Chains A and B, each alone.
Chain A
Amino acid sequence: MNNVYVLGGSQTDFQRNWSKEGKNEIALLKEAITDGLDDVGISFEDISQLNSKNKVAFYVGNFIAEEYIQQGHIGALITEVDSSFYGVPTARYEAACASGSVALDAAITKVKTGDYDVAIVVGWELMKTVNSKVGGDILGRAAYYEKEGKGIDFPFPKLFGKLADEIIEKYQLDEQRFMDSLSIISNKNYNNAKRNPLAQTRNWFMDLEQAKMRGTETNPSVGGRLAVSDCSQVTDGAAVVVLASEKYMKENYEKEFPIVKGYGHRVAPMLFEKKMKDNNNSPYILPWTRQAVEDAYNRSGLSVDDIDFFETHDCFTSSEYAAISAFGITDPGKEYEAIEKGITDFNGEKPINPSGGLIGSGHPVGASGVRMFLDLYKQLTNNAGSYQLEKSDNGMMLNIGGSATTNYAFILGKE
């Protein structure tokens, strides 16, 4: 199998509200795709040429445009971006908030097999078309809607609130200490986002004390023990990455690019309750999440010791908490130790979410997986600007859909 190179890409500013700007999904896609292609120096003419030899394809990650903008057939929409996309193979890939990762996986596979030389991946979601209550209900479709979503206000904060309860229960944790750890995660991700010029919350204020003041007017409780400061916020946005075969990379560029070193893809029981029953015999709270990470380690021949930084799916603080042991940074049940010691801080030994993650950067669901992948690329190539880490030879991302139902991990690194 061939190596898959990551040439680059771009993301839109996740602070933008495209409905407020009066712009639709075509405007979003045009900007993201034009910027992404500009970044890697591929023109629309190049696309036409590649397409005449059937060597380019397009992969679109999107969760649920049908509900947010009443639009289906999402893959084909890219033909509206530019006529050079006429005839280019394209389709939409969906796995709730892990939609971006399924699209990436499909693209990586097709470059690996040698079918295509260039694969363009775009993940996107427009979510500011509806109010937060309606939006919460739409997102409920990422769970088993009839049993976990229908008629429930904001089902997902509640599910991840339950995850917090289960973590305390399983590991018999001191409740205060655990909740303080979640506050540290939130505050860290807000702080990291301050360095990221495309982050949704870069101008927002958060401090540790505010993150601890759950149940107040400015930090209301939204799901059991979780408050607004524990939640990522939905937004509008798109992220693009361009993948290429070794042949294409060598023919067209002189610099070095990171490669995809490994992946893991595991799907846990859909219902949260069954997930929790399923973990009885595992030391991990989310055994299939851990398995996806282990698969990526195995496929790449790397271990946690080789990974310099992580981008994880902190849709809620409790999901980043669980990811710490899933990555192998600590033993399960000991995650708070890494948090308290600052190991996952920007300047820590194993930084998690230097970009700000979902909590800091914003969570346009279909885009998030691709945004994480792009952030790995930026760190690995020294293109992360003001949030560049010092050591970045290998990076791992974990993107989850639903209540950690679909689990996707990727490892990118220098060749």
Chain B
Amino acid sequence: MIKTVTVLGANGTMGSNVSGIFASFGGVKVYLVSRTIEKSKKAMANIASSVKADSVKKNLIPADYSMLEDCIRESDLIFESVAEDLDTKIKINNEISSWVDEDTIICTGSSGLSIKVLAEVFPENIRKNYLGVHFFNPPYNLTLCEIIPSEYTEKKLLNNMKDYVGSKLHRTVVQVTDSPAFLGNRIGFQFINETLQYAEKYKHKGGIDYIDSILGPFTGRSMPPLVTSNFVGLDVHQAIVDNLYDNTNDYAKESFIMPNFAVYLVNKGILGKKTNGGLYKTIVSNDGTKKYLVYDISLNEYREVKNYNLSFTNKMVDSLRVGDYNSAFNTLINDSSLEAKLCLEFLLKYVVYSLITSKYVGDSIHAADDVMAAGFGWCPPLGMVQALFGIENFVTLAEERLPEAIWNEVEIEQLFSDISSSKYDYRRFFQAKH
């Protein structure tokens, strides 16, 4: 029974949003621990507005690190949400370790560090209570929660936690293995980083906005992939793909290499929305009108975002507008333009990589569906198979259109042998928008 929770790093974006989830759906008392008590107090208003409920304020108690001992001693669960940096997290785990007792659950909100390494900071009798609980931002809108046990995590505690997060906190729970970037970010950033590589490859055709125009909301996502990267920031993007490049070794390894132009932007501090300038940039003039600019890789400067006016995207959007999904996907499959071919290839690769990865990282084939739908708002891979006319058609298309290198590593028949249909309705994910 969880009655009291301590959140460390409670004034950060994730820390405060997660505090809101515990204080609202969980209905528990939450100690907000930040560097100063003022920061924690300030976080309270944000927390209430993040869950749209002033009633949660009664559950929030601002604190600072000088009060950590008392907070921890009283808590049934500790949620660590400090900076995503191994040394910082090890240091904080050492502090937690000094005061925590044998019954307290300890969670890290890490988005991809090794849970095993982090668990080993604790003495053996405590390690069993440690696990990763990875929310997606903003959790009030994105319900995904990846739960990551380490090899030390006690089975009963893991099951209780899955149950609590699912039924009490109303999250979409997916248990994933302790592997780099876990499942959602691994699949998502494989896709996003490969689009970034293609932006460089096709820089003479327009680069960033060219690729985004091929893989926009009409392909089953709320925003184009490189707009997403710009939104989360190239620094975060880089941390995720570097981790994956260093620590994975499958056919997709090379797709985690960040292209040179993007590394250059990161080094110059040009990161994205948060620095108002990254892959995209918005300029607001004095009269309030907005101009959308994109970084042109060839020119090494910003220019206005172009309307590529691609025939296949126009046709798809027209079909989707009136709910004619079959006609939209027939257009995609039968259009002979380079752009339509690239688009379809990306969607096929997305499904194949998702299915393969969920076998190793997830607990079932539906894990990839859950993480992509509930964590990214993308059409889940099994939904994509359905949209592309079912398994049989999908397999034929994949064999025709995907590079042979993939099939050296994967038996496609085997990949699809134990698939059941998606529990998600694919239609809502395909927007009639460029």
Contacts and interface: CB of A to CB of B under 8 A. Distances in A.
Interface stretch (A200-208, A349-357, A404-412): A200-208
B16 to A, nearest CB: 15
Given A22-B433, A205-B25, A210 B54 contact: yes
Contact of A22 (B27, B54, B320): B320
A217 B52 CA distance: 9
B13 interface: no
A24 B48 CA distance: 35
Given A20-B431, A21-B432, A30 B324 contact: yes
A298 interface: no
Nearest to B432: A22
Interface string A103-132: 000000000000000000000000000000
A16 to B, nearest CB: 6
A23 B431 CA distance: 7
A26 B53 CA distance: 37
A303 interface: no
Nearest to A206: B53
Between B58, B140, B317, B323, the greatest number of chain A beta carbons within 10 A of the residue's beta carbon is seen for B323
Contacts of A26: 322-323
Interface in B318-363: 320-324
A218 B54 contact: yes
B317 A213 contact: no
Contacts of B49: 217-218
B39 interface: no
A29 B324 CA distance: 11
Contacts of A216: 54
A381 interface: no
Given A13-B428, A22-B320, A22-B432, A207 B54 contact: no
A27 B428 CA distance: 11
A203 B54 CA distance: 17
A194 B168 CA distance: 11
Given A30-B322, A31-B323, A205-B52, A23 B27 contact: no
A31 B321 CA distance: 12
Contacts of B55: 207, 209-210, 213
Between B51, B141, B427, B431, the greatest number of chain A beta carbons within 10 A of the residue's beta carbon is seen for B427
A47 B53 CA distance: 49
A216 B58 CA distance: 14
A206 to B, nearest CB: 7
A84 interface: no
A interface, over-half SS? loop
Contacts, number: 77
Contacts of B431: 20-23
Contacts of B190: none
Interface in B283-330: 317, 320-324
A20 B58 CA distance: 35
Nearest to B218: A22
B111 to A, nearest CB: 21
Nearest to A229: B53
A213 B56 CA distance: 11
Given A194-B170, A209-B58, A24 B52 contact: no
Contacts of A13: 425, 428
Nearest to A212: B55
Given A21-B428, A213-B54, A218 B322 contact: no
B143 interface: yes
A218 B24 CA distance: 13
Given A194-B170, A207-B27, A27 B433 contact: no
A20 B431 CA distance: 8
A221 interface: no
Contacts of A213: 54-55
Interface string A212-232: 010011110000000000000
A28 interface: yes
A340 interface: no
A-B complex: 9 closest residue pairs judged by Cβ atoms: A27-B323, A22-B432, A210-B55, A30-B323, A209-B55, A205-B24, A22-B433, A26-B322, A216-B54
10 contacts: A21-B431, A22-B317, A24-B322, A27-B320, A27-B323, A205-B52, A206-B53, A207-B24, A213-B55, A219-B53
